[in-house]
Amino acid sequence: MTQKNERHLSSALRAMVERERHRSVAPMATDRIVRLARGHGLVGQERTDPFVEGILGWARPVVAICLTILVLLVAYNVRLSNELPGMDTPTARVLGLPSATVALAFDPDFEEH
Amino acid sequence: MASAAVIAPVRTAALRAVGAQRGSVAAERAGSRDDSALVEQVVRGDEHAFRRIVDGHIDAVSRTVTGLLGPSAEVDDVVQDVFIKLHANLATFRGDATLRTFVTRMAINRSLDVLRQRKRRRWMQSWGLGSELDAAGAVAPAHTPLEQQDLDERLRKALDTLPEKQRTVVVLRLVEGLSTEETAQVLDIKYGTVLSRLKRATDQLRAVLSANGTLEMLEDK
């Protein structure tokens, strides 16, 4: 095939494919693709800085451990409080302090204990 | 003497290829840098960057897919698939090739998958296992003069007679206008293989189009 023939064929094929493309691809294709990507959660959510991501990665387990300890301490306190009568608190018990009641607070001899 | 006559055009083509390769290296590097920056933004989830990539490549991708599949409603789905798949694979984009090469390769692979599916459907239909072949492939009729429609149909039929590998080269070289070097890069084949496939394909097209008088019509235009 000569170069001239090839040029004719090339431009004819190009024009044909262009017409076929307009019939086959619906309008606003870019918008539809971007919307689809957004629907898949691929775009629209900016990722944070890697440094921040690193810090957050370390912070998360620390926060989880602290929360667990806090919950255990609260549970321990509640359990001890149920076991002790009156206004005794776990702290008072640990320190060996005598039971304090409202009546004792007005007792003039209380401080002698 | 005869061997010299054979070697001369080959050497000229090879020298032209080397020259074109050198000339395009600088532009390619600059393009790759831009692509890499854009890709980095997309990987971070930037929607505007993704829109820019889609906008920049949608015409080429849809032309390539249409060239291989013909007028069909499947083209729209394939184009969408290509860009969604491109997004999923952008993290693996290392910038060795341009983004255009990367996305064109994906468009070709996806189109060839669809062609294989069509073949399977046809085979199943021939055994009475499938029904309504290509029912989803219908597109709106062309609003072009009858003469133009006739020419398009002849060209499409001729193009569809080519084996997939040759058709791919024709679409990239003659329709998409890629250079032989770029075509070789996209298809991951040798420069000489592109030339030989193109030669065989154009010979076949000429034979088919000459037989029904289309080639003369094209020359008269």
Name the average pLDDT for chain B.
Answer: 82
Band of pLDDT at residue A86, cut at 50, 70 and 90: low
Provide the Cα torsion B58, B59, B65, B71; round to 10°: 120
With vertex at residue B193, the alpha carbon angle to CA B191 and CA B194, rounded to the nearest 5 degrees, is 70
- What is the ipTM score, two decimals? 0.77
Residue located via tokens 């069909």: B72
**Per-residue model confidence as pLDDT tens digits over A19-54:** 999 999 988 999 999 999 888 877 766 556 677 878
Query: In a 3-state reduction of DSSP, which class is residue B131?
Result: coil
Burial of B93: CB neighbours in 10 Å, binned 0-12, 13-18, 19+: buried
pLDDT score, position B33: 66
pLDDT score, position B110: 96
Q: Where are the domains of chain B?
A: 19-131, 141-221
Q: Could you tell me the two tokens for B189?
A: 């084949």
Rounded to a whole number of angstroms, the distance between the first and last alpha carbons of chain B is 40
A45: nearest CA partner in chain B:
B45
Mutation for A interface: B12, B48, B52, B63, most A CBs within 10 A:
B63
| Position B4 pLDDT exceeds 90 | no
**Per-residue model confidence as pLDDT tens digits over B48-67:** 999 999 999 999 999 999 99
| Domain covering B141-221 in this structure, CATH number | 1.10.10.10
- Residues B69, B115 contacting (CB under 8 angstroms): yes
Chain A positions in Cβ-Cβ contact with residue B91 (cut-off 8 Å): none
Burial of A54: CB neighbours in 10 Å, binned 0-12, 13-18, 19+: exposed
CATH class of the domain at B19-131: mainly alpha
Q: Could you tell me the two tokens for B41?
A: 């933004």
